[in-house]
Amino acid sequence: MSDDGFDLRKLALRPEDAQNPFGTTRRAPRRTRHPFVIVPLMWLEQLQSARCSIAATYRLALYLLRTHFKNGGRQVTLANIALANIGVSRGQKVRALEELARLGLIITERRSRKSPIVKLMFVD
């Protein structure tokens, strides 16, 4: 200790303070992540001219865009079970795929006794 009243030992950190020097930290509230879909403007323009089974066509289009994004841009294999979760039946799937192909938004590769493979256009 010096004559000027300065004590270096008072400034030293205790071992329990060295772990978290600022006391308790408060975590930011966790945001819930809701799934979202990015829709290209070309798709919106083309979907506006859809004529048959419009609801199923829109649902399928949004599902395809989201799955395409999640797969990293690869082709999408379109199983019936996945579409049942979004409210599209087998028959609606066939009609919606035909409508999207007619609009020029997708190219489908039909396979006998297997799910079709869908390639999306105008998304890159």
More confident residue, 4 or 45: 45
Pull the structure tokens for residue 24. Answer: 């308790």
Q: Does the global pTM surpass 0.75?
A: no
pLDDT value, residue 25: 66
CATH number belonging to the domain at 41-120, selected among 1.10.10, 2.60.40, 3.90.320, 3.40.50 = 1.10.10
73 conformational bin, left if phi > 0, alpha if psi -120 to 50, beta if neither: left
Q: Residue 79: what pLDDT? A: 93
22 or 81: which carries more pLDDT confidence? 81
Average pLDDT, the chain: 87
Residue 109 or 35, more confident: 109
Higher pLDDT, 63 or 4: 63
Report the distance separating Cα 81 and Cα 85, nearest Å: 7
Residue 95 CA to its chain's centroid (Å): 25
Grade residue 52 by pLDDT with cuts at 50, 70 and 90.
confident
**Model confidence at 53, in pLDDT bands (50, 70, 90)?**
confident
The DSSP bridge partners found for residue 118 are 76, 108
Tell me the mean pLDDT in the region 37-42: 92
Domain locations along the chain: 41-120
Higher pLDDT, 4 or 118: 118
